[in-house]
Amino acid sequence: MNHLFKTKLNAACFVLIPACIGINYLGKLFASVLKLPLWLDSIGTCIGAVLGGPVIGAVCGAANNLIYGFTTGDTITLIYALTSLGIGVAVGIMARLGQMGRLRGAVLTACVAGLTAVVISTPLNIVFWGGTTGNVWGDAVFAWSQAAKMPVFLGSLLDEVIVDVPDKLITLLVVFAIINGLPKKLTSLYDVDNKVERLD
């Protein structure tokens, strides 16, 4: 189990982290401006998690939320740094277990990441926002659930599921394609059992 959280802190990882944060930032901004029914803010987190492991994934996820929240004034994003951290850890563990090497494993990883997000975010939604998420489409489902007299917890859960699970499925499929398209010489820089630390 110790190898799951083993982290190779080399120059490649220190370059990877800001690059992944930037990808997350742009994805979330894109989804927010276009009012998409997805977050698209975890692609960088998942790339970092697959290449660098759970610790790097957690750092990329949490840092992205904090940076985005403080630079845009989006206080909702700040609270969900916990969720992004959890997603990074979950995807990193699944990757270390070899699940991101094949398409079926990527889909399974997406389900694990989506459910992780739902489990962490639903209580936060209820405590801080009365059950809503801040996503226009998801909150429409929450409004419907409350009009139908469903419990707040169930409505908030549905709100999260309808946004997070499809979002993570798209995210992990994109990440799967990206990672499998990278040259082995590059991905080996992040292999905790590999001593290679240079591209040349």
- pLDDT one-digit tens code per residue, 111-145: 999 999 999 999 999 999 999 988 888 999 999 99
Q: What pLDDT does residue 134 have?
A: 80
How far apart, in whole angstroms, are the C-alpha atoms of residue 160 and residue 60? 21
Whether 195 shows a pLDDT value over 80: the answer reads no
How far is 2 from 25, CA to CA, in rounded Å? 31
Taking the C-alpha atoms of residue 68 and residue 96, their distance in angstroms, rounded to an integer, is 28
Please report, for residues 3, 26, 121, 145, the alpha-carbon distance to residue 139 in angstroms, rounded to integers and kept in the order given. 40, 22, 14, 10
The total of other beta-carbon atoms located within 10 Å of residue 45's CB is 34
Per-residue pLDDT tens for 58-104? 999 999 999 988 998 888 788 899 999 999 999 999 999 999 999 99
| First and final C-alpha spacing in the chain | 33
Q: How many residues does the chain have?
A: 200
| Res. 198: pLDDT tops 80 | no
What global pTM score does this model have? 0.91
Domains and CATH numbers, the chain: 9-187 (1.10.1760.20)
- Tens of pLDDT, residue by residue over 21-56, are 999 989 988 888 888 878 889 999 999 999 999 999
Q: Flag whether pLDDT at 199 surpasses 70.
A: no
